[in-house]
Chain A
Amino acid sequence: MTKKITKSGLLSRRRLLTSVGAGAVLAASPFRINLLQAQEATIKVGFPVPLTGPYGTEAQDQVRAAEVAIAEFNEGGGLNGRKAELLVRDDKLNPGEAATRTLELIEKEKVSFIVGSLSAAVQLAVNNVTKERQIIFNSISQSDTINEASDFSKYTFHEALNPHLTAGAVGRYAFPKFGKKVAFLTADYAYGHEMVRGFQEAGKAFGIETLVDIRHPIGTTDFSALLPRIQALKPDILCISNFGRDQQIALKQATDFGMKKSMKIIVPIMLYTGRIAAGPQAFEGVIGGTSYYWGIEDKIASAKAFNDRFRKMHGGKVPSDYGALGYGGVKTLLMGAKAANSLEADKVIAAIEALKYDYYKGPQYYRKCDHQSAQSVLIIESKASPQKGDADVFNVVETEAPNDANLRSCEALGHKV
């Protein structure tokens, strides 16, 4: 059928060759790149977070907190007058979408920094894209893997806590107080597995005994078949490692089964937004960890300043735990740029590594080998009923101070020291 070559066919083929030529010249020409890299007025910070989907509430709070960091930087005169600008993108909680958006932010918007992500897989995807292009990335969600040598690069920073640190802190608080017989109820994916590993490693020092580790799929709505099994084993502690709605449902059903009477329930991360959504009853008496709770403002001046600024900008609301990470993540990079007096990646990295900062929750610093932010972990207990307004939901029962020893060692992560 294609044997007969028509006139239009010949013409098209010629046009094809011309187009290929033009395209190739355009792609190869350094001129085009220079044209696009011409002096920009603002310092652009890319912010891919899952605005839609199950973590939308947390992500939108992260954006609000990041806006506070940008506003403060700009009021402080920026970087020699250069203002910062936040470019928010919806990554839809999908690593492929996040990678595409990161490419857009780097290639089209020419951002200087990327801050964001709200899942382990998404942050690893963004990290792979940014490290190949030598753009500094600060991750603001939990992952143990991002600290490991295989994924880490000098452009990678991790402002959030990681599962090892969070679960470890909660374990170190709970095991000596409540007993050594522990039952685990765990969401069957990376987050749950890493948390359980964290608990068990911290538990070694206290000689804990694992009675059972029951895994449930993400999105489980009925735990009634699993809970009696746990009750029959009579553990001292029930450790529930799941997230978001799973956590709310599991806690509610455990309360209904009357399990709180015979055992203490602990969770690695107790979410502020989750507690607000589920109400006080399900969470009452549960012990958990968090990176931030607004209530520490009574004791910590930087938290007070951050909360006040946040309230002023966002209609009197207080920032959530994950929200505050958006602030910390953007703030550290911008302050690093200011300290370096430059946007050159290497200089900014050196400046951030040297930072000893207290922006919103007490002293913090980035460990040199894996750029993990060493920071305090708050151990919180959910109140039976709020006393000072609806936002007053937790008691901070203990604060674990920042300490390298609580992180996995650089050698264990595969870094050469």
Chain B
Amino acid sequence: MAMNELSQTLAPAGVEQRNWFEAAKRHRALLASLFVLVFPLVMPFTALAVNILIYGLYALGFNLLFGYLGLLSFGHAALFGTGAYLCGIAIVHFALPWYVAIAMGVLGGTAMAALIGALAIRTRGIYFAMVTMALAQCVYYLFYQAIDWTGGENGLRGINVRAIDIFGMKFDFINPLTRYYVVAGFVILALYVLSRILASPFGAVIEAVRENEARARASGYNVTLTRLITFVLSGAFCGLAGALAALHLSIVPIEIMHYETSGMVVMMSLLGGMGTFFGPFVGAAVFLLLENLVSLWTVHWQLFVGAVFVVCVLFFPAGIWGTILKRVRP
């Protein structure tokens, strides 16, 4: 199973033919980064490639909770949206530099995750999904009503960053490729951090909780705390994704907080392969690409995209990436 990636690495590594697979797995963040760097060259347009990166990162953060810890949250839009709004508010209302705004977004996602997590983490299964969804709706209305700060119905406009200055160099942020590579820089950083978290002893505890909660508790691990920390970490990744989304589109629509955004990330994770490192990215890419390409061609695009999803669920139960991993694993 693709879900047992980490336990696989604990198996005896002496077998010759497994070497390349193990090496690839060890350097998963590096390989994913390489892919990210050449990605825009094969995309129909750069703005879509940036969206895929951002939603890929959002799904990556979600997958930490869903795929690795085994908790299904239906409220991740609140974390993604808070990141986006705080980043936007920092620029629009406080005229802070872009890097501070991104930090605000990450902090916002983290803080919101801590708040929602503290309230929801003791529930499990379907109850956890319902509680997170209910809390996310509360957050939606909070931001919807705070018109002076968020623009309410009209959305937050004016997140205009023209130039990005790094170490004395100035880059034109309006240029699509520059925008892509700035966003890619942050996504690559997040990939490394996530890979490191998963490879750490704490990462092993996360998976232990998923596999057998009673045994993890019996082994002396604080299960509730592990869940809370994972939820908060997931919030940090989603907050970063939200902040990047705000910078990319220069607006934050209220739709970003809608429960559809929560549902979309579940879809992306399942499509790509839950519990795999790179699966969420594949899911986000396939999801957004399909939507964009088919809607160019017919107004009945939802019919075709729906059919593709049905086929995926029927023939790739472990997700697209999960199934590929299963096939190529020696």
Contact = CB atoms under 8 A, between A and B. Distances in A.
B34 A132 contact: no
B27 A20 contact: no
Contacts of A1: 9, 26, 199
B15 interface: no
A102 to B, nearest CB: 9
Contact of B253 (A12, A94, A107): A94
Interface of B is mostly: helix
Given A96-B256, A108-B46, A103 B176 contact: yes
A145 interface: yes
Contacts of B177: 23, 26-27, 32
Interface string B1-45: 000000001000000000010011011001101100110000011
Contacts of A96: 245, 249, 251, 253, 255-256
A89 B48 CA distance: 14
A389 B20 CA distance: 74
A74 B196 CA distance: 60
Contact of B33 (A16, A27, A143): A16
Contacts of A27: 171, 175, 177-178, 180-181
Interface in A12-44: 12-13, 15-16, 19-20, 23-24, 26-28, 32-33
B309 interface: no
B155 A124 contact: yes
B27 A12 contact: yes
A132 B250 contact: yes
A100 B255 CA distance: 14
A90 to B, nearest CB: 5
Given A19-B34, A125-B253, A8 B47 contact: no
Interface string B186-205: 00000000001001000000
Interface in A163-190: 189-190
A189 B153 contact: yes
A381 to B, nearest CB: 30
B174 interface: yes
A23 B302 CA distance: 35
B155 A90 contact: no
A18 B175 CA distance: 21
A23 B47 contact: no
A125 B178 CA distance: 21
A100 B299 contact: no
B141 to A, nearest CB: 11
Interface in A340-394: none
Contact of A19 (B38, B160, B174): B38
Contacts of A32: 177
A132 B174 contact: yes
Contact of B152 (A2, A92, A190): A190
B158 interface: yes
Contacts of A151: 157-158
Contacts of A26: 177
B51 interface: yes
Contacts of A24: 181
Contacts of A301: none
A150 interface: yes
A100 B38 CA distance: 20
Contacts of B155: 95, 121, 124-125
Given A95-B253, A96-B255, A189-B153, A107 B299 contact: no
B158 A100 contact: no
Contacts of A133: 174
Given A99-B251, A128-B250, A107 B45 contact: yes
Contact of A100 (B48, B160, B256): B48
A107 B37 contact: no
Contacts of B153: 120-121, 189-190
A56 B300 CA distance: 11
A51 B298 CA distance: 10
Contacts of B296: 89-90
A84 to B, nearest CB: 20
Contacts of A33: 175
Given A121-B254, A128-B250, 9 more contacts: A2-B199, A6-B27, A9-B23, A12-B27, A12-B30, A51-B295, A103-B249, A120-B153, A120-B154
Interface of B: 9, 20, 23-24, 26-27, 30-31, 33-34, 37-38, 44-48, 51, 152-155, 157-158, 160, 162, 171, 174-178, 180-181, 196, 199, 245, 249-251, 253-256, 295-296, 299, 301-302
21 contacts: A1-B9, A1-B26, A8-B23, A13-B30, A16-B34, A19-B37, A32-B177, A51-B295, A90-B296, A90-B299, A94-B255, A95-B255, A100-B47, A103-B249, A104-B48, A107-B47, A108-B45, A121-B153, A121-B155, A124-B155, A128-B157
